[in-house]
Amino acid sequence: MAQCVRSTLTPSRTPQSLFTRTVSAKNQAFASVSFLRTLPEFKGYPKQCSVVMSCQGNAQRQQQLSLDDLVTSNRKGEVLGTIQDSLSNCLSDTNLLETVPGLKSRIKGKVRDIYDAGDYLVLITTDRLSAFDRNLASIPFKGQVLNETSLWWFNNTQHITPNAIVSSPDRNVVIAKKCSVFPIEFVVRGYVTGSTDTSLWTVYKKGVRNYCGNALSDGLVKNQKLPANILTPTTKAEDHDVPISPTEIVEGGFMTQAEFEEASMKALSLFEFGQRVAKEHGVILVDTKYEFGKSSDGSILLIDEIHTPDSSRYWLAGSYEERFRKGLEPENVDKEFLRLWFKENCNPYEDEVLPAAPAELVTELAWRYIFLYETITGSRIDILPTQEPIHDRISRNTSQALSSLRQL
């Protein structure tokens, strides 16, 4: 029996009605023009090339990272104090309706707050940590790192797909053109793993052998590499994501066959590219999700975020094979260790009140986000402490950016 359940969302069949519906739920849309800030340049592959190894000629020697790089890194010592000093200065919520002229409404997502600015959307990436369909903690600099990670990948995957970015006037802010958002998350997986209800390992160990249209063979074990990357879409339900098959997506009117095929091809190509880039820098891109929207000219655009440690799972490549042979968990560089802590100390799906995340784990996760960004981009992220409240800085920079855009 197929294990993908049709979403309870009522599908919309026209771009305009889809946009109207998704605005009330989760409306993350970007458009590709030019950045207002200077972003780290992509070091390695020509933008017009989609296959890393063939484009480079001579591939760079892959880094070999270990857990020691995370634990004993000199860079960790440099940023640890700043992280600890910022535990009480996280961006957990925003209210730009009171501080930025011209904003019409706010939608609060799991991590991002989305504001309607007329022709544009303003997306604020907060420091909220979301898992198990709820917020678990606030992580210092998380929003900044996620935002700048996505910007780096957006900037360097335009040879695969256009995105919807207009500008990034602040470390935590993206301004985007509006577009019709497809209510589907394109989840791509390269390994049998995970701890959430919709993760591949969770459903596989329950006996599921046909997941979102993918036939899975018997005998797979946790953390095993799949023979080929697979797509396991989910609907964007209000409270939780629901797995759905390609057939159900088309028959349910969520997307046309042509739209689904194009978005699927983009998702798989983005994931393959991301895996190659990650591997060259000593990490494994295990799985991730993508979201797409349709612009006014009919183009399908990449939106939301890309290859962040929030939307993706990363393992250290150097130790994966040996640990897999020994039946040990991979060394991860994402929020999985904190997810596992909550699963071990409570029922994160059913308990009304969750325990507070330990400060040392919050600090460690902040460092891992920074480590991953700097490892992949080859650039140091600016996380200087400031006495100015983050909300004030964001309000000022966003106001200036929107004023400039309205004068164009």
Q: What is the domain extent for residue 204?
A: 67-407
- CA dist 275 and 188 (Å) reads 11
Residue 122 exposure: Cα atoms within 13 Å on the Cβ side? 31
Residue 33 maps to a domain? no
Residue 179 maps to a domain? yes
Question: In 156-245, which ranges are continuous DSSP H helix?
Answer: 200-204
Say which residue, 384 or 238, is predicted with more confidence: 384
Reported as a single tens digit per residue, the pLDDT across 300-329 is: 999 999 999 999 999 999 999 999 999 999
In the chain, how many domains are there? 1
Reported as a single tens digit per residue, the pLDDT across 134-178 is: 889 999 999 999 999 999 999 999 999 999 999 999 999 999 989
Residue 80 maps to a domain? yes
Residue 195, C-beta contacts closer than 8 angstroms, at least 6 positions apart: 201, 202, 336, 339, 340, 343
Residue 4, C-beta contacts closer than 8 angstroms, at least 6 positions apart: 211, 212, 213, 243, 244, 245, 248
Task: State which H helix or E strand residue 61 sits in.
Answer: none
Residue 184 maps to a domain? yes
Residue 223 maps to a domain? yes
Residue 274, C-beta contacts closer than 8 angstroms, at least 6 positions apart: 153, 285, 288, 306, 307, 312
Residue 39 maps to a domain? no
Longest dimension (CA), the chain: 61
Residues 228-238: b if buried by 16+ CB within 10 A, e if exposed: ebbbbbbbbbe
Reported as a single tens digit per residue, the pLDDT across 219-232 is: 999 999 999 999 99
| Nearest CA among 290, 249, 244, 294 for reference residue 268 | 290
Residue 207 maps to a domain? yes
pTM of the model: 0.83
Reported as a single tens digit per residue, the pLDDT across 347-384 is: 998 999 999 999 999 999 999 999 999 999 999 999 87
> What is the CATH number for 184?
3.30.470.20
Residue 380 maps to a domain? yes
Cα–Cα distances in angstroms (integers) from residue 90 to residues 79, 201, 210, 261, in the given order = 16, 33, 42, 40
SS3 46: coil
